[in-house]
Amino acid sequence: MYFLFFRNIGHARGRSESTAPLLWKNMGRLVAVSFFLMLVAPMPGWAQPEAPSSTEEIFFREVPSVYGASKFEQKVSEAPSSVSIVTQSDIKKFGYRNLSDILRSVRGFFTTYDRNYSYIGARGFGRPGDYNTRVLLMVDGHRINDGIYDQASIGNEFPVDVDLIDKVEVIRGPSSSIYGTNAFFGVINIVTRRGRDLKGAEMSAEAGRFDTYGGRASYGDRYSNGIEFLVSGTYSNSPGGDRYYKEFDHPSTNRGIASGCDWEEYYKLFSKATMRDFTVQTLFSSRDKGIPTAPWGAWFNQSNTATTDQRGYFDLSYERSFSNDLSLNSRVYYDHYQYRGIYAYNRAASGEPLSLYDLRDFGKSDWWGGDVQITKMLFRNHKLLVGGEFKDIFRQDQGVYQRDPNSVVLDSRKSSFNGAVFIEDQYRIFKNLILNAGARYDYYDTFGNTLNPRVALIYNPFEKTSLKLIYGEAFRAPNAYELYYMDGFTTKAPRDLQPEKIQTYEAVWEQYLGDRHKMTTALYHYSIDDLISLQIDPADNLLVFRNMGRAKATGVEWEFETKWKGGIESRISYAFQEARDDATESLLTNSPQHQAKLNLLFPLIRDKAFLGTEFHYVSPRKTIAGRNSDNVVLTNITLYTQKFMKGLEVSASIYNLFDQKYGDPGSDEHLQDLIEQDGINFRVKVTYSF
């Protein structure tokens, strides 16, 4: 019982009829639509550009740039991956409350929420309770995945206020060739705002359903001597609402009503200072969350069943460009992560009065490290990147203990070290043909070494046409929880646990149609080997993590973005994926085969008032118990205003406008097969700059 199931990664169960014919049917339709749009829209240079009536109407006049795809700035059309960028303007005008909201709007991504943490699903893979270990999350290039569970936090537990985000770079596909572990399905790089973007003080306050209140105070500026800084603090509190779970509908458990158990409180502190070539960045956040679902056999309707997650770091980076097309980037850092859980259990036998006790779980990790990279133009057509990094996790503590009476169930004190070297060459074979190739060698003291390449051929037959063929490999190293979490009663330490590996083949067509339209079509196939799963050893009936799984998927993604004359913006996307367990051929759990999204932005009053509308469709997903969830159709609307009064911005958002009742698949630790999500919700937010 003891938290062995805490981080359990569930396998798909059962079988379903193959949908491969439907896959190719949808691929054919999307390719046909893509060619049609290319034919009917004017190619760059073939038609006279339409003069925009304001600077806001210039949409794709310049192809945007991305940093996270190759660790240097490059045009999205030349990046060795399929990239989406969400801007600060998008965050405001569509009312995104946290990183989970942002990622849910991105092509091919979906999220789930178990009333404690939010999880990322990408390209049909989103195992319930996997703690986002297969996506690398960064803030300004600094790794956020922690040193115990490798968790990428994307809900309110994400340590940076979304108001401080300048843009979010979503880089799809394996990127272990430059980033190492976790860059499995993709990389998410958060680029934060600078002091010059604030030019003074900025304060915001917000209120929402369930008596949710929060606020932020920030200050930033850039001075004539070159010093630039930003400092910000955020606080939020919500008592939450009552939750009903039919699985606990019994007189002894309050008829299934979790009262006052869904509460949340968090604060976030962030600072960034730049002087010449040096940048210092610090971050600390703490989030407490009540858990109404009573997971892992905890007693239901106990408001003290809760988790605390704390995350912090200090980062000193140096960046210098020299006159001979040489640039140097380096950083040193210190990171901290701490998790605490309190879970109420009942020791009384059935029919006896309650006799509750607390079982407490903790994980604490501290690490430091550094990296250096050199970028150099060679022979006018090679952009060469070489670098290396190391990380010393000198504390990886985990434990479980009981209060009243005191007893220790688990006390693990470990440490680990890893280092890597990498190289990448962006070779411009011709003016419109690029070969991007690179590889990274990683060494871990826990399992040994691994080598991961990535190769991309990028062809630009026209100025705003990009065709990409990409092959990549990536790995996910076993984390401290999988290696060392054992209590001797129901779990034991694994032997020779190896990293998970993925191979991905992808073809991408990106087409900018004039200055107002962009179309993206992507086809991909991946296979995963040595998936780490929690298994029962028949020799002793103890649970142990082993490399037991294999999965594969084929999919297609299509997206069309437009900014119409007059300022109306639209983005429509569709994703089809078929992700299966390789041994059973059954669909993976929590894997929707279809996703469709539509974003519309209407300027009500030019440059002052906007109406943002989102429609999300997610097809049924298989649950741990082998059932299917319902179709999900969500509608969100946001009214955003600015410039009516100098420095004042006001927004009002309604989420799940039509109050759809739906649930996300639960994990093995939940008694609930589906965990009900919020119905209609709202938020009002006011921001004032001065």
Cβ-based neighbours of 515, under 8 Å, separated by 6 or more:
49, 50, 52, 58, 59, 60, 61
Q: Are strands 648-655 and 632-642 parallel, antiparallel or unpaired?
A: antiparallel
Instruction: For residue 543, give both structure tokens.
Output: 């649970």
The DSSP call for residue 491 is B
Mean pLDDT of the 386-395 span = 98
Q: What are phi and psi of 207, to 5 degrees?
A: -145, 145
Domain CATH number, residue 226: 2.40.170.20
Mean pLDDT of the 359-363 span = 94
Res 488: pLDDT: 62
**327 is a domain residue:** yes
Confidence class of residue 22 from pLDDT cuts 50, 70 and 90?
very low
Res 47: pLDDT: 34
Q: How many domains does the chain have?
A: 1
**576 is a domain residue:** yes
Q: What are phi and psi of 93, to 5 degrees?
A: -75, -20
**10 is a domain residue:** no
**8 is a domain residue:** no
- Under DSSP, is residue 181 helix (H, G, I), strand (E, B) or coil? coil
pLDDT of 31 > 70? The answer is: no
Mean pLDDT of the 253-268 span = 96
CB 491 within 8 Å of CB 481: no
**339 is a domain residue:** yes
Cβ-based neighbours of 491, under 8 Å, separated by 6 or more:
4, 485, 542, 543, 544
Mean pLDDT of the 182-195 span = 97
CB 211 within 8 Å of CB 236: no
Cα distance between residue 412 and residue 399, in whole Å? 6
Res 602: pLDDT: 96
pLDDT of 4 > 50? The answer is: no
CA angle 401, 403, 409 (to 5 degrees): 20
Cβ-based neighbours of 130, under 8 Å, separated by 6 or more:
9, 119
Cα distance between residue 185 and residue 474, in whole Å? 8
pLDDT of 15 > 60? The answer is: no
pLDDT of 3 > 70? The answer is: no
Mean pLDDT of the 255-263 span = 96
- What residues does 682 pair with on adjacent strands? 654
**664 is a domain residue:** yes
What single-letter amino acid sits at 200?
Answer: G
Cα distance between residue 217 and residue 446, in whole Å? 43
Domain of residue 431, residue span: 20-689
Q: What is the mean pLDDT of the chain?
A: 90
pLDDT of 6 > 50? The answer is: no
**5 is a domain residue:** no
Confidence class of residue 656 from pLDDT cuts 50, 70 and 90?
very high
Confidence class of residue 638 from pLDDT cuts 50, 70 and 90?
very high
- What residues does 566 pair with on adjacent strands? none
**304 is a domain residue:** yes
Mean pLDDT of the 320-349 span = 94
Q: What are phi and psi of 246, to 5 degrees?
A: -65, -25
Task: Name the residue with tokens 């670098």.
Answer: 387
